[in-house]
Chains A and B, each alone.
Chain A
Amino acid sequence: MNTLIEFLEVHGGEMIYLTWQHLYITLSALFLGTIVAVPLGILLNKVPRKFGQFIIGIVSIMQTFPSLAILAFVIPFLGIGQGPAIFALFIYSLLPILRNTYVGIRGVDPALNESGKGMGMSAWERVRHVELPLATPVIMSGIRLASVYLVGWATLASYIGGGGLGDFIFNGLNLYQPEFIFAGAIPVTLMALLFELTLSKMEKGMTPNGLKAAA
């Protein structure tokens, strides 16, 4: 108990700073991922099906690259630091969000689209009033999934000088100081849980009422 207090007295400030940095990297990557992947997912439903599947395939392959390799790979192009780290994680967040958006919108009953079209809704009006609201639960669960992955992967940002709680964890591993490992790992775990909880609340809140009654 004393060691814990001692540790917090010495490293508490740094821990808060690193936690904030970690959160910042995660949220930035998630935000970028969402604003790119959601529109892309919508768009992929408007192009021929084969092409859509092709793009999804490419993004799936990118997902299989080891995360460390991606992080290393951005260095020659973007250098080191927080920016490149965010970029690499953003690439990673694309797949779950893109796939869920694509599937969610594809899953909207074609009869609804036809009746919307037949009533004189433009393509944009159909996206805005029909497809997006109905696909929201699926899209949101994609974002939630991506966020949990990102919290974990953001620890690797420390390798390319991006900071975050990874700094504690890898220092602890290198110097064999378990208290640093814990000081990094515990907040990361808590953060992942927090994202999961918050986003599933949001998912429920954003699900349209008419769909909830059906469940």
Chain B
Amino acid sequence: MLKFENVSKIYSGNHYAVQNLSFEVEKGEFIVFIGPSGCGKTTTMKMINRLIDPTEGVISIDDKDSNLQDTVQLRRDIGYVIQQIGLFPHMTIQENVTLVPRLLKWSKEKRKERAKELLKLVDMGEEYLTRYPNELSGGQQQRIGVLRALAADPPLILMDEPFGALDPITRDTLQGEFKDLQQRLGKTIVFVTHDMDEALKLADRMLILKDGKLVQIGTPDEILTEPANEFVEEFIGKERLIQMRANVETVEHMMNKHPVTIHESASLSVAIQVMREKRVDSLLVTDSEGYLKGYVDIEMIESNRNNNKTIADIHLTKIHTVHKKARLRDSISRILKLGASYVPVVDDDMRLLGILTRATLVDVVYDSIWGHEDPGKEDQIAATVEESVL
């Protein structure tokens, strides 16, 4: 859909505003350009509709080099929304919304129909058609600003910090509404922001820029789990990384790596001794290679006490497990749903790697409240809780 090939913008001979940028955007994708101010994100976006002309490289839209097209025609085929909203105060809402159709010489009736259709998309009544922008609230104005970009049904829409000037509550509502609208209409969106929360909320993929250079491109999950470098980590913010951890981190990172286990050939009396020693009421059963065989708990030992059996004879093989690559968030909700006190973590071959307990949940909540500053204390707390749960 949209392709940058070695694009640079050079000002006054040697200052690179954007340097050697290459990437591709798929149709229907919501891509967010993000970075600190002066990183070149707005310049990059404005090169797409040629409000700024690239110095080097090729930008193509649907495989057509945009440099070879007439700028006015090019821009009419690309929606554009800016932070200052930019509704024309002397035009009614209808005139504002159908400005591009008017430039494209649509008939009057068709324009009016289109205006009504568009207002419906954001649940605004027809009575707004004849009003003027200054009679609308900021949030309503930007809704109209978005509709204006959608009017001629362009496949690609550029948005330059469109929700930046709105109050936080309105911003949040509009973000939700807009993401929903974008998915319904299947538009490709290029969105510029410096607000990380906004980017994480809206983006299918994010493109992080610094000093005009591409630092990292990827889905929010990829960026949160594997920040490319310290800058990205810093930019996302330590706090957010920790808070987002439950959403994106895998079980492997947070599991307790020392579950209390017992070999399947051990006798029941050994099992009860291990339980007593470790202060737990159940044990995970493994074989010599470390494969998980099942679990044994105090009630099972109790009912088989007199039979002089080994664990291999009695233990239940059926047990819920999670894969090491599973998302922490999903696993925790599974623990809670099953009412289990723990879930063993295994690899592809059912080899036991660790254990996820309710105490892990405590870790996650603890981290998101107090951060990571005192790992020693945290381990201690986790250990205490773990024992009492098991």
Q: A115-B86, A214-B134 are in contact. Are A120 and B75 (CB under 8 A)?
A: yes
Cβ 8 A contact of B103, one of A118, A121, A133, A210: A121
Please encode chain A, from 179 to 215, with 1 for each CB lying within 8 Å of some chain B CB and 0 for all others.
0000000000000000000000000000011110110
- Could you say which residues of chain A place their CB within 8 Å of the CB of B47? none
Complex Cα–Cα for A114 and B347 (A): 56
Q: Which of B352-382 contact A (CB under 8 A)?
A: none
Please encode chain B, from 59 to 82, with 1 for each CB lying within 8 Å of some chain A CB and 0 for all others.
000000000000011111100101
A119 at interface, CB cutoff 8 A: yes
What bracket does the count of chain B residues touching chain A fall in? Answer: 20 to 34
Q: Whose C-beta in chain A lies nearest to the C-beta of B74? A: A120
Q: A111-B84, A114-B82, A130-B88 are in contact. Are A119 and B134 (CB under 8 A)?
A: no
Please encode chain B, from 84 to 117, with 1 for each CB lying within 8 Å of some chain A CB and 0 for all others.
1111111110000001100100000000000000
Are B51 and A122 neighbours in the complex by a CB distance under 8 Å? no
Q: A118-B49, A118-B80, A119-B148 are in contact. Are A111 and B86 (CB under 8 A)?
A: yes
Are A210 and B89 neighbours in the complex by a CB distance under 8 Å? yes
B132 at interface, CB cutoff 8 A: yes
Are A210 and B51 neighbours in the complex by a CB distance under 8 Å? no
Are B80 and A210 neighbours in the complex by a CB distance under 8 Å? no
Q: A210-B132, A210-B134, A213-B134 are in contact. Are A119 and B100 (CB under 8 A)?
A: yes
Cβ 8 A contact of A134, one of B75, B89, B99: B89
- Could you say which residues of chain B place their CB within 8 Å of the CB of A115? 80, 82, 84-87
Q: Whose C-beta in chain A lies nearest to the C-beta of B145? A: A115
B177 at interface, CB cutoff 8 A: no
B294 at interface, CB cutoff 8 A: no
A11 at interface, CB cutoff 8 A: no
Complex Cα–Cα for A111 and B161 (A): 13
Complex Cα–Cα for A111 and B135 (A): 19
- Could you say which residues of chain A place their CB within 8 Å of the CB of B132? 209-210, 213
Are A117 and B51 neighbours in the complex by a CB distance under 8 Å? yes
Complex Cα–Cα for A134 and B132 (A): 14
Q: A210-B132, A213-B135 are in contact. Are A134 and B90 (CB under 8 A)?
A: yes
CB distance from B333 to the nearest CB of A (A): 45
Complex Cα–Cα for A209 and B86 (A): 17
- Could you say which residues of chain B place their CB within 8 Å of the CB of A213? 132, 134-135
Q: What are 19 A-B contacts defined by CB distance under 8 Å?
A: A111-B82, A111-B86, A112-B88, A112-B89, A114-B82, A114-B84, A114-B86, A115-B85, A116-B86, A118-B51, A118-B158, A119-B100, A120-B75, A120-B76, A129-B88, A134-B89, A208-B90, A210-B90, A210-B133
Residue numbers of B with Cβ under 8 A of A are 49, 51, 72-77, 80, 82, 84-92, 99-100, 103, 132-135, 148-149, 158
Residue numbers of A with Cβ under 8 A of B are 109, 111-112, 114-122, 125, 129-130, 133-134, 208-211, 213-214
- The list of the 6 closest CB pairs from A to B, nearest first, reads A115-B86, A208-B90, A120-B76, A120-B75, A111-B84, A210-B132
